[in-house]
Amino acid sequence: MMREYERFMGLAAELMRAALDSWRAGNRRFAVLHAGMGCEHALKAVLCKVDPTFISDRSDRAFKFHAHGFGDQPGVPPLIQGRTIGLADSFKDASVVMQGRMPVSLQDFNQVIDDRNGVAHSAYHVEDRAGKTLSVAIKVAEATRKHLSVPSSDFWGDYELVFGDLAQVASLAAVGGGAAASNMEEAAETLARTEAAYAVDAVVPVVTSIVSTLPRWGSMRRSKDHQREITESVLRASVCTALSAVSRRAQQAAEALLAEHGLLPLPPEPHVPWPRGLSGRAWLNEVIRVEQPRRTQAANVLTVRLLVSRAVTEAFFGALRPNIPEGFDKTPTERGWYIGVTQPSAEAEIVFDCPGCSTPGMTGELQGQLEFDDCGCADYCSHPERTRTTARFERLHCPACSLTLTDPHEIEAAGFELSMDWDE
């Protein structure tokens, strides 16, 4: 049976080859994303070989117990709720385990962390440094491969002789000759520019028409301050309506582009049965292995959604501010200015800074349901009536940029947990 670290390393190899595929096809954004994900799996493989609980997050109460055969004990959450450490902690801990054989410093590796998170969580991408980021990631992945004695041909595949030379990788023919693969990032950026231009064209007439028309609606019984309040209220509503219209149009266009390139719809979530006699740890590894292709596809989908969302909101507010006349609030994202669209209420809701909006102050909602179960605490218990309340999140929505995620792997790729202890 394949051991834990071998499964993580197998996934790391797939992702690093995918990163080189993307670089070869000219998709710099996806190359950085895949390389960051590949490094995380490779670093966790190093930790798992020593002890699988090394990758258990401090708040985890599932993975660490299941990993050592205590998953059937009262109070232990299901394995699916297990939480593992992130990329930064994986690097720090693996550096300790590798005892001086890590080829780069944390300061250097921070570029991989920042760029991977930038692409995955906020569509932020610096084209000029993608090559350096990928090079650092390759050094780390290669060091972990050597540390775990994985054959180079197994890990790098067709890139065994060239993985260290990105110029040579880029000179190879596009993978499979597929136009969809080679043009994905270019098509997404072209769409983002098109929708951004549409947003600019939409906002200017709205502001100028409202500001120029409403003052003529005054009367002798209405003070200037009252007229200003009316104008600003109508302006707010009009701006929010315009933003909602252009952002929804942009997200629909992004979905059409993703479908054209075969990234949507996402395949059904795979069901991994838990055979009798299989340990919880082995089952979790199988789940990770089976789900990884879908997780990678979901991360690619989210990257395009965020790219388009950020371009539209940046363009919209960039055009809005200089067209708002003196005397009116120039920062429409401050509390009380933006009028959000009311969404169906949920049992569990968390307000967050939207990863798709470029302007600080824009917030969205993570919505879900509450589940109640016996806490299983042996002695002292702080849970009300010995009941643990868990929030299961199912939907992420921002009323400003219309970013809406209902797929669990997309929500996770955006940096949010699917569940949390609601009592804390």
Greatest mean pLDDT among 25-29, 255-259, 334-338: 255-259
- Residue 24 is assigned to a structural domain of this protein: yes
pLDDT for 104 equals 96
* Tokens 């969404």 -> residue: 343
Domain match, 57 and 160 both: yes
pLDDT for 64 equals 79
Residues 279, 2: Cα–Cα separation, whole Å: 13
- pLDDT of 208 > 80? The answer is no
β-pairing, 348-353 vs 387-397, is: unpaired
If you average pLDDT over residues 141-155, what whole number do you get?
95
- pLDDT of 305 > 60? The answer is yes
Do 126 and 147 form a contact (C-beta atoms < 8 A)? no
* pLDDT, averaged across the chain: 80
pLDDT for 1 equals 38
Domain match, 164 and 195 both: no
Domain match, 116 and 81 both: yes
Residues with Cβ < 8 Å from 54, sequence gap 6 or more? 47, 48, 93, 97
pLDDT for 337 equals 42
- Residue 296 is assigned to a structural domain of this protein: no
Q: 102-116, 198-212, 283-297, 395-409: which has the minimum mean pLDDT?
A: 283-297
| Residue type for position 177 | G
β-pairing, 387-397 vs 404-405, is: antiparallel
- Residue 287 is assigned to a structural domain of this protein: no
Last residue of one domain, picked from the residues 125, 156, 177: 177
User: How far lies 148's CA from each of 6, 168, 310, 349, in Å?
Assistant: 9, 27, 40, 43
Residues 333, 364: Cα–Cα separation, whole Å: 12
Q: What band does 176 get if pLDDT is binned at 50, 70 and 90?
A: very low
Domain match, 314 and 401 both: yes
If you average pLDDT over residues 218-244, what whole number do you get?
74
- pLDDT of 123 > 90? The answer is no
Q: Give the per-residue SS3 of the chain.
A: CCCHHHHHHHHHHHHHHHHHHHHHHCCHHHHHHHHHHHHHHHHHHHHHHHCHHHHECCCCCCHHHHCCCCCCCCCCCCHHHCCECCHHHHHHHHHHHCCCCCCCCHHHHHHHHHHHHHHHHHCCCCHHHHHHHHHHHHHHHHHHHHHCCCCHHHHHHHHCCCCCCHHHHHHCCCHHHCHHHHHHHHHHHHHHHHHHHHHHHHHHHHHHHHHHHHHHHCCCCCCHHHHHHHHHHHHHHHHHHHHHHHHHHHHHHHHHHHHHCCCCCCCCCCCCCCCCCCCHHHHHHHHHHHHHHHHHHHHHHHHHHHHHHHHHHHHHHHHHHHHCCCCCCCCCCCCCCCCCCCCCCCCEEEEEECCCCCCCCCEEEEEEEEEEEECCCCCCCCCHHHEEEEEEEEEEECCCCCCEECCHHHHHHCCCCCEEECCC
> What is the percent of the chain where pLDDT is above 90?
26
- Residue 293 is assigned to a structural domain of this protein: no
- Residue 380 is assigned to a structural domain of this protein: yes
For the chain, report the end-to-end CA distance as a whole number of angstroms. 39
Among 125, 67, 55, residue whose Cα is nearest residue 91: 55
Residue 239 vs residue 50, higher pLDDT: 50
Looking at the chain, how many residues does it have? 424
Domain match, 168 and 241 both: no
Domain match, 249 and 378 both: yes
| Residue type for position 405 | L
Domain match, 138 and 199 both: no
If you average pLDDT over residues 289-304, what whole number do you get?
83
- Residue 254 is assigned to a structural domain of this protein: yes
pLDDT for 354 equals 77
Last residue of one domain, picked from the residues 112, 142, 177: 177
Among 179, 176, 173, 177, residue whose Cα is nearest residue 261: 179
pLDDT for 255 equals 94
- Residue 241 is assigned to a structural domain of this protein: yes
- pLDDT of 344 > 60? The answer is no
Residue 59 vs residue 410, higher pLDDT: 410
pLDDT for 237 equals 79
pLDDT digits (tens, 9 = 90+) for 310-319: 889 888 888 8
How many CA atoms does the CB half-sphere of 314 hold within 13 Å? 15
- Residue 408 is assigned to a structural domain of this protein: yes
Do 312 and 202 form a contact (C-beta atoms < 8 A)? no
CA-based angle 237:239:241, to the nearest 5?
A: 70
pLDDT digits (tens, 9 = 90+) for 265-293: 999 888 777 767 766 667 666 777 777 78
- pLDDT of 334 > 50? The answer is no
Last residue of one domain, picked from the residues 138, 161, 177: 177
> What is the percent of the chain where pLDDT is above 70?
79
- pLDDT of 116 > 80? The answer is yes
Domain match, 168 and 242 both: no
pLDDT for 336 equals 38
pLDDT for 229 equals 76
Do 22 and 101 form a contact (C-beta atoms < 8 A)? no
- pLDDT of 175 > 60? The answer is no
Domain match, 341 and 227 both: yes
| Domain span holding position 317 | 183-262+302-421
- pLDDT of 178 > 80? The answer is no
pLDDT digits (tens, 9 = 90+) for 92-113: 999 999 999 999 999 999 999 9
Domain match, 210 and 238 both: yes
If you average pLDDT over residues 214-218, what whole number do you get?
55
- pLDDT of 127 > 80? The answer is no
Domain match, 346 and 401 both: yes
Encoding tokens for residue 267? 């395949």
If you average pLDDT over residues 349-367, what whole number do you get?
72
Radius of gyration of the chain (CA): 25
Q: How many domains does the chain have?
A: 2
Domain match, 224 and 325 both: yes
β-pairing, 419-421 vs 348-353, is: unpaired
Residue 380 vs residue 336, higher pLDDT: 380
